[in-house]
């Protein structure tokens, strides 16, 4: 049976070039900084994002966690969006493991924060009743807000607030290269005003695992200690870092194909009775839509049985395009979806 898996861009399989690089990777003990492939990946990431240094981590969640903990102390708080991945989808790690609280500010439909609201959320450091504001965090692209991309001007508006209050700015850039390709802007321009940034190798770039945290030398030194504390210091990890290098060197520009396929998918879904969607609000590879009619759980089960994965029991669904889905897959999936909804939606 033909399967089209829209659950996430994390389901991609490593390319043949990645597999060869992994098999042939020169490795060493990364805890001792002896793994030349990891060092090369970290240097490539730092150079690409315009930062002094980088550090390979197991996941995007770990990358964001060590970043927050490096910037904030126990009892501090981080200002971030109420729909951000750090707040909603990372198991409360900064709070549970670092004693750092979350001060949420409203994300608009693009995932942007209002600079005035961010500034109003910053605590008076002289008021001992309040936690200390230690960090501001943005997300680009913004997952829950339809994969929308923040421009350099957007980031500048928040960075300006952060600088006035002598606060660091972190960017959760899990899909920063999707933003770069969509905006036709180098990734380093999107993060140049941030003190730290994390990005995923295992999403649109298609590597089997891993993320990289980038920032200043002192910041990265701190995150290395935190990574060790969290059990994330790995040994001959150049085996997977090699795939990350291939991902960065060969998989960025092709993200435009994912965006094109997502647009085709969104337009096709807009023609299916029982589905509510605004294709123009979905610029990159994440397609959100509402199940306006029918039983979502039943529809999701039927679609999965027919090889289209990504539905859920909720009325809001998220489909994500990626390197293992091509234009023909979109046509096939739309045919299956239309048939299924015609059968199940009165």
What domains can you pick out in the chain, each with its CATH number?
Answer: 11-250 (3.40.640.10), 254-344 (3.90.1150.10)
Q: What percent of the chain has pLDDT over 70?
A: 100
Q: What is the tens place of the pLDDT at every residue in 276-320?
A: 999 999 999 999 999 998 899 999 999 999 999 999 999 999 999
Q: Using the predicted structure, report yes or no on whether residue 36 has a pLDDT greater than 70.
A: yes
DSSP-derived secondary structure for 22-73: HHH-----GGGT--HHHHHHHHHHHHHHT-SEEEEES-HHHHHHHHHHHH--
The residue with greater pLDDT, 54 or 346, is 54
Confidence of residue 344 (pLDDT cuts 50, 70, 90): confident
Q: What is the tens place of the pLDDT at every residue in 124-145?
A: 999 999 999 999 999 999 999 9
- Among 239, 111, 130, which residue's Cα sits nearest to residue 182? 111
CA distance 237 to 330: 35
Distance (Å) of CA 102 to CA 68, 125, 188, 222: 11, 17, 27, 21
Q: What is the tens place of the pLDDT at every residue in 170-218?
A: 999 999 999 999 999 999 999 999 999 999 999 999 999 999 999 999 9
Return the pLDDT at 346: 62
């Amino acid at each position: 049976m033909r399967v089209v898996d829209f659950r996430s861009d994390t389901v991609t399989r490593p390319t043949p070039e990645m597999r060869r690089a992994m098999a042939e990777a020169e490795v060493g003990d990364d805890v001792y900084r002896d793994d030349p492939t990891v060092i090369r990946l970290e240097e490539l990431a730092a150079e690409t994002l315009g930062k002094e240094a980088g550090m390979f981590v197991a996941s995007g969640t770990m990358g964001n966690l060590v970043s927050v903990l490096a910037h904030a102390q126990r009892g501090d708080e981080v200002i971030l969006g109420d729909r951000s991945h750090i707040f909603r989808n990372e198991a409360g790690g900064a709070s549970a493991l670092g004693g750092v609280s979350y001060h949420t500010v409203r994300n608009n439909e693009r995932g942007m924060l209002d600079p005035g609201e961010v500034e109003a959320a910053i605590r008076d450091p002289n008021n001992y009743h309040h936690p200390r504001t230690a960090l501001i965090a943005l997300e680009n692209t913004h997952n829950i807000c339809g994969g929308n991309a923040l421009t350099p001007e957007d980031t500048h508006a928040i960075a300006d607030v952060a600088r006035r209050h002598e606060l660091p700015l972190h960017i959760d850039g899990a899909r920063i290269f999707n933003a770069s390709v969509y905006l036709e802007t180098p990734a380093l321009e999107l993060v140049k005003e941030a003190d730290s940034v994390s990005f995923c190798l295992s999403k649109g770039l298609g590597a089997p695992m891993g993320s990289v945290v980038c920032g200043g030398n002192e910041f990265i030194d701190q995150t290395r200690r935190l990574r060790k504390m969290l059990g994330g210091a790995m040994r001959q990890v150049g085996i997977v870092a090699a795939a990350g290098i291939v991902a960065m060197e060969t998989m960025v520009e092709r993200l435009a194909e994912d965006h094109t396929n997502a647009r085709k998918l969104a337009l096709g879904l807009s023609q299916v009775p029982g589905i509510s969607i605004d294709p123009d609000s979905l610029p990159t590879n994440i397609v959100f839509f509402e199940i306006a009619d029918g039983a979502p759980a039943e529809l999701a089960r039927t679609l999965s049985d027919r090889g289209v994965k990504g539905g859920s029991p909720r009325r809001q669904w998220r489909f994500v395009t990626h390197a293992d889905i091509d234009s023909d897959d979109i046509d096939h999936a739309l045919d299956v979806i239309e048939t299924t909804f015609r059968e199940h939606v009165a």
